[in-house]
Amino acid sequence: MFKLQYIFFVVIISLFLLQPAVACECDLEVLEIEYAAEHADVVFIGMVHSIEDLEENGRKKVTFRIMKSWKKPLPYFIHMTTAAEEVDCGFLFNLFDTYLVFASGADDKELSTGICTRTHLLHDEDEDLKYVHSVLKGY
């Protein structure tokens, strides 16, 4: 009987000590296309050339081949980072897929993106792409 009470006590205490997992929370305003296009430092269409885990900080380095950029010119290849997991607001890119990316950073060597941006897999009749074409200066 004592053993059963002890197990029950340990389970109850463990439930109180458990911290809820902190998930990524996005401000809904930043998900609006107008806000995303205005506040991103660069917007581009790029194909994922490589993905590398940066184990020391829980991030991934994604290399893109740039097909078109807006807001400022970019080199033919760029590297950018994102958190390794969606729970940390990271965007999960797939090798060789083409994306419309909204990224921020001091320069093209420090760019980053995540799920709290309008970054997404490029598709036919992409409304975000139509908006970007009509509003932003392209390179």
* DSSP secondary structure string for all residues of the chain: -HHHHHHHHHHHHHHHHPPPP------GGGGSHHHHHHH-SEEEEEEEEEEEEETTTTEEEEEEEEEEEESS---SEEEEEEESSGGGT-----TT-EEEEEEB-SSTTS-B--TTSS-EE--TT-HHHHHHHHHSPB-
Least confident interval from 9-13, 22-26, 48-52: 9-13
Sheet bearing 98-103, strands edge to edge: 77-83, 59-70, 42-54, 98-103, 120-121
Handedness of CA 16, 18, 22, 23 (dihedral sign): negative
Please tell us whether the domain made up of 22-135 is placed in CATH 1.10.10.350: no
Q: Which residue has the higher pLDDT, 125 or 19?
A: 125
Average pLDDT over residues 116-132: 95
**For position 19, what pLDDT does the model report?**
45
Integer Cα distance of 103 and 5 in angstroms: 55
pTM for the model:
0.81
Res 17: pLDDT: 44
Buried b (16+ CB within 10 A) or exposed e, 22-49: eeeeeeeeeeeeebbbeebbbbbbbebe
The mean pLDDT value of the chain amounts to 86
